[in-house]
């Protein structure tokens, strides 16, 4: 018997011939990837594929509804090539190629559907960018946020990760953070030089815990590209500003022996970025409808305001879990947020999502367009889970703050929003 243990590298249509059994450890995240992976076996003769579902809301949902999974169509791939930030970054390269300035007419020829105002914005953004850095081979294929970070082992001059964008670099790397890949060595972050974009790590002998950053985001609206008020649902799609302060981290020990520990950083890092975002704001009547509903359910002594807030968070979590199922994306491509009082949203209760990997992926725009489906699927996810108060199979998310979540209220809130659509 021959056994191959592999990452998803085998997904890309390599024909090894006579494999007969595939064991998938965890759902790969999309039906398309799942079909590719199980398709590695049975190419000559019979084949059997086994999928081991993991403890995560969407996977548990499909474990409860296997037929729905089997009949589910592959996801739709999204890309937004006319995103203005992406276009603006290409202008200096185009100018090099043409050997002259890029004009409005050039862009109109290439993208006949774009509005004149939009093209002018693209040219303006391009004019203010530092083109030398872009033309000078600094055009990162991995990210759009400009500055790149590298991870180097102290004293060995050996770079282990290259071209990390600043946003994810500072989320995952801070003094004391553990960097590891399963089955390989672990490293602890020793120092970070933001000016040079350098992260220095030290090898560690024994890996006993990993780290998860704890951060706070302050969110503001830069501009709204689109707004809609459809049947009682207020939603918008635009550019947000996120100021993220990473102020500490959690040490999570392997095994059950140790409780996890919270550590504060001596020097919190603050990063600012301006991702695409979409958000749904609740009207006063929707919010009071929810509170009235909660009043009837809640035990004496529980604060209705806190439960309403916890319902908002739980609904946001359920939506986060189902999004990768409706739109082809990775769960790490976007971040969800929810709050009942945030100045940027005029203190109205809000559930929103912003892109993590720069703009241009089209994920956020797709969430905006598919909001009705997202709400319905989130409700199905919650309703089909037999628990009463919320559990890791429905409203809890791995690695997120899962404290104030109220499942019965989330169900009510999603219904209120869906009634608005129908």
Kindly list the residues in this chain that would bind Zn ion in the complex (CB under 5 A): 385, 387, 391, 393-394
| Beta carbon of residue 375, minimum distance to Zn ion (angstroms, whole number) | 18
| Beta carbon of residue 260, minimum distance to Zn ion (angstroms, whole number) | 22
Instruction: State the alpha helices, DSSP H only, in 298-406.
Output: 304-326, 363-369, 371-383
Question: Residue 170 or 385: which CB sits closer to Zn ion?
Answer: 385
Q: How many contiguous H segments (helices) and E segments (strands) does the chain have?
A: 13, 13
CB atoms within 10 A of CB 120: 12
Question: 261-273 and 276-281 as β-strands: parallel, antiparallel, unpaired?
Answer: unpaired
CB atoms within 10 A of CB 131: 16
Q: Is 35 left (phi over 0), alpha (psi -120 to 50) or beta?
A: alpha
Question: Residue 57 or 349: which CB sits closer to Zn ion?
Answer: 57
| Beta carbon of residue 413, minimum distance to Zn ion (angstroms, whole number) | 16
Burial group, residue 310, by CB count within 10 angstroms (0-12, 13-18, 19+): buried
| Beta carbon of residue 385, minimum distance to Zn ion (angstroms, whole number) | 3
Question: Residue 102 or 394: which CB sits closer to Zn ion?
Answer: 394
Question: Residue 113 or 386: which CB sits closer to Zn ion?
Answer: 386
Contact 61, 384 (CB under 8 A): yes
Question: Residue 55 or 136: which CB sits closer to Zn ion?
Answer: 55
| Beta carbon of residue 150, minimum distance to Zn ion (angstroms, whole number) | 42
Burial group, residue 194, by CB count within 10 angstroms (0-12, 13-18, 19+): middle
Question: Residue 282 or 381: which CB sits closer to Zn ion?
Answer: 381
* Residue 89: closest CA among 365, 362, 359: 359
Looking at the DSSP bridge assignments, the partners of residue 311 are none
| Beta carbon of residue 57, minimum distance to Zn ion (angstroms, whole number) | 8
């Amino acid at each position: 018997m021959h056994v191959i243990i592999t990452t998803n590298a085998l997904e890309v249509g390599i024909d090894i011939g006579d494999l007969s059994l595939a064991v998938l450890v965890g759902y790969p995240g999309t039906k398309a990837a799942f079909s590719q992976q199980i398709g590695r076996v049975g190419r000559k003769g019979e084949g059997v594929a086994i999928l081991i579902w993991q403890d995560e809301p969407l996977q548990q949902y499909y474990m409860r509804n296997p037929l729905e999974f089997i009949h589910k169509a592959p996801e739709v791939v999204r890309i937004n090539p006319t995103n203005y930030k992406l276009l603006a970054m290409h202008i200096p390269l185009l100018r090099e190629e043409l050997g002259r300035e890029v004009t409005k007419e050039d862009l109109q020829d290439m993208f006949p559907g774009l509005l004149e105002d939009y093209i002018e914005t693209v040219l303006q953004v391009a004019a203010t960018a530092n083109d030398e850095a872009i033309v000078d081979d600094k055009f990162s294929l991995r990210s759009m946020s400009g500055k790149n970070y590298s991870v180097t082992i102290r004293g060995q001059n050996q770079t282990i990760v290259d071209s990390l964008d600043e946003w994810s670099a500072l989320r995952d790397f801070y003094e004391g953070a553990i960097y590891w890949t399963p089955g390989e060595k672990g490293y602890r972050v020793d120092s970070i030089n933001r000016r040079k974009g350098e992260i220095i790590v030290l090898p560690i002998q024994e890996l006993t815990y990993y780290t998860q950053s704890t951060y706070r985001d302050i969110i503001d609206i830069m501009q709204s590209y689109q707004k809609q008020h459809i049947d009682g649902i207020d939603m918008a799609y635009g550019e947000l500003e996120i100021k993220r302060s990473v102020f500490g981290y959690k040490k999570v020990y392997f095994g059950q022996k140790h409780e996890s520990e919270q550590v504060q950083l001596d020097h919190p890092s603050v990063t600012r970025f301006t991702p695409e975002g979409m958000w749904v704001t609740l009207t006063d009547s929707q919010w009071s409808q929810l509170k009235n509903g909660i009043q009837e359910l809640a035990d004496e002594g529980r604060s209705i305001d806190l439960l309403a807030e916890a319902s908002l968070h739980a609904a946001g979590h359920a939506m986060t879990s189902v999004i990768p199922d409706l739109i082809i994306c990775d769960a790490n491509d976007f971040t969800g947020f929810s709050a009942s009082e945030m100045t940027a949203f005029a203190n109205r209760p809000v559930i929103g999502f912003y892109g993590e990997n720069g703009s241009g992926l089209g994920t956020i725009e797709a969430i905006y367009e598919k909001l009705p489906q997202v709400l319905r699927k989130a409700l199905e996810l919650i309703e089909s889970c037999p628990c009463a108060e919320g559990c890791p199979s429905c409203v809890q998310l791995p690695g997120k703050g899962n404290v104030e979540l109220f499942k019965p209220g989330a169900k009510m809130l999603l219904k209120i929003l869906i009634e608005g659509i129908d």
